[in-house]
Amino acid sequence: MEVFVRVNIIYLVVGIFSLLSAFTHTWNGLKNTLNVLNNTAIDRGTITIFTYVWHIIGAENVVIGIALIIISFIKNRENTKFTVWVIMAISITRLIIICIFTFLNNESKLSEILIDSIAMIVIIVLLFFGTKIKNKTM
């Protein structure tokens, strides 16, 4: 009987970070961004769309975080690689979309997404290294 579970620490850390990101993203929206929209002349339908899209991103981060935490405890890592590659593809797509639309709409604001972009790149790189960890047998 194995006393210690072999955990993929990279997936566990990224999963916890994703849950934290979901919380901070939603909190920031509720406290700052979404409140600003209510004080503008933007029509109610547009505000509603912006609000649910904002919360979809938070919910996606929760799902990704929970999935990665569960995956971190699965012994046969070969069975989890596809899921992690899908999560990486989603993250890369998010980063590309954020950069493209920031550049197209206000290229001077690119510096404002630098920290978020670096965080996303670190997450993607960590997930990549997590896929390289081999199964260990005793």
The answer to whether residue 2 is domain-embedded is no
The answer to whether residue 47 is domain-embedded is yes
The answer to whether residue 138 is domain-embedded is no
Domain limits for position 46? 9-132
Return d(Cα 94, Cα 61) in angstroms, integer: 12
The answer to whether residue 127 is domain-embedded is yes
The answer to whether residue 4 is domain-embedded is no
Which residues, 6+ apart, have CB-to-CB distance to 39 below 8 Å?
none
Does pTM top 0.85 for this prediction? Answer: no
The answer to whether residue 122 is domain-embedded is yes
Q: How far apart are the first and last CA of the chain?
A: 11
Rg of the chain over Cα atoms, rounded to whole angstroms, equals: 18
Residue where the block lists tokens 């935490």: 69
The answer to whether residue 28 is domain-embedded is yes
The answer to whether residue 3 is domain-embedded is no
Per-residue pLDDT tens, the chain, 138 aa: give them: 454 568 899 999 999 999 999 999 999 888 888 888 877 888 888 888 888 988 999 999 999 999 999 999 988 878 889 999 999 999 999 999 988 988 888 777 778 888 889 999 999 999 999 998 876 544
Return d(Cα 19, Cα 29) in angstroms, integer: 15
Total structural domains within the chain: 1
